[in-house]
Amino acid sequence: MTDEQARTPQPAPVLEAVDVTVHYPVHRSRGETVHALENASLRLIPGRTVALVGESGSGKSTFARTLALAQTPTSGNILLYGKPASARGRRARRAYARRVQMVLQDPFASLNPLHRVRYLLERPLRLHGSVTGGEDMERRLRALLERVRLTPPERFLEAFPHELSGGQRQRVAIARALAVEPEVLLGDELVSMLDVSIRLEILNLLAALRDEEHLAMLYITHDIAGARYFADEIAVMYAGEIVEYGTAEDVTQTPAHPYTRLLLDSTPDPDRMEFLAGRTNREDGERDVTGDDYGEPPDLVHPPSGCRFHPRCPLARAACRTEQPPHVELTDRHWARCVLLVQPDASRDTTTAELTP
């Protein structure tokens, strides 16, 4: 999708998160709470992909689980076609799962190794009552495998998960999600455990499914370069908060938040080399955002005051320690939260400046 297409008026979302906050109690006796997600909003639209990008522990998976109603939000709403979504009770849970499916990172863990592919795919078809058996079942099983490009289907139907490659297992996991004809697919790091050569194949498959079947997709990843390739829009998460949101083109070509810049800085991109001019690169051209250069991710039991990124931000100002960064609309579909977007001349915080690469 071109940037121009991404800017055209958007159709109504299938699934929407509105100001969703998730706090987990831990150490009840000490009254401690993990502030996993704060006021996060996004809209999933048929035929479009939103990538949720950030390092481990940034709240991406919590957000996906909340969208799947596997996690109850502390506040905020999950809306399905504009109405509050519910998974209270078995029937409601099943009805919701038929529309919103999640595919996890590790297909080996998510596919029961004791069962053949046939069983793994038959089960959702029977559970959701769409097929009972006989020729119809056989036809649906074959069609499912063909949809995920596992052909000829008879070669895979009787296989056990351990007899398949990582990419083939992930295709089976995707086929199992597709078995109930969902409208939304939530993919949690679903290519991160695969060989690099296989990742592109799976992303191409997902892109084809999205386009051909008009699926609304959430693609969770720590790889912003992959997100640029695959997604229409990118939400950058840091420490439980969305800090930048926009079209994939805007976020990767004109990043506004220092954390987004560091993520991009860790990924060589020939189209964006001017941004890196004047900065020290490793010999291989990569930076490790999670490495010593930028310190450790914050403890979400005691999240940093003010801007949560301030202890690691190379551009932090004194105000960043105490004040919430403003939400700044850069275009009609690109926003970020950073004080520098409204006060570029604010004085530098010298106690964090030593983190500057």
| Residue ranges that bind ligand SF4, judged by CB under 6 A | 257-258, 307, 309-310, 313, 315-317, 320, 325, 338-340
11 contact partners, CB below 8 Å, separation of at least 6: 45, 46
CB of 56 to ligand SF4, least distance (A): 20
CB of 312 to ligand SF4, least distance (A): 8
C-alpha closest to that of 221 among 211, 346, 206: 206
Strand 75-80's sheet: what is its strand order? 32-44, 15-26, 75-80, 83-84
Measured from the CB atom, is 57 or 325 closer to ligand SF4?
A: 325
Measured from the CB atom, is 167 or 325 closer to ligand SF4?
A: 325
Residue given tokens 């000829």 in the structure block: 152
CA distances to 71, 98, 121 from 92, in Å: 15, 10, 22
Based on the number of CB atoms within 10 Å of its own CB, is 289 exposed (0-12), middle (13-18) or buried (19 or more)? buried
DSSP designation for 102 = E
Measured from the CB atom, is 65 or 317 closer to ligand SF4?
A: 317
Amino acid at 173: A
CB of 63 to ligand SF4, least distance (A): 20
Measured from the CB atom, is 147 or 310 closer to ligand SF4?
A: 310
Measured from the CB atom, is 222 or 261 closer to ligand SF4?
A: 261
Measured from the CB atom, is 109 or 342 closer to ligand SF4?
A: 342
Measured from the CB atom, is 175 or 316 closer to ligand SF4?
A: 316
User: CA torsion sign, 110 to 113 to 119 to 123?
Assistant: negative
Beta carbons of 148 and 177 less than 8 angstroms apart: no
23 contact partners, CB below 8 Å, separation of at least 6: 33, 34, 35, 36, 74
CB of 315 to ligand SF4, least distance (A): 4
The answer to whether the bond into 303 is cis (omega within 30° of 0) is no
CB of 320 to ligand SF4, least distance (A): 3
**SS3 category, 247:** strand
User: CA torsion sign, 39 to 1 to 219 to 255?
Assistant: negative
Measured from the CB atom, is 63 or 309 closer to ligand SF4?
A: 309
CB of 259 to ligand SF4, least distance (A): 6
CB of 352 to ligand SF4, least distance (A): 8
CB of 260 to ligand SF4, least distance (A): 9
DSSP H or E run through 331: strand 327-331
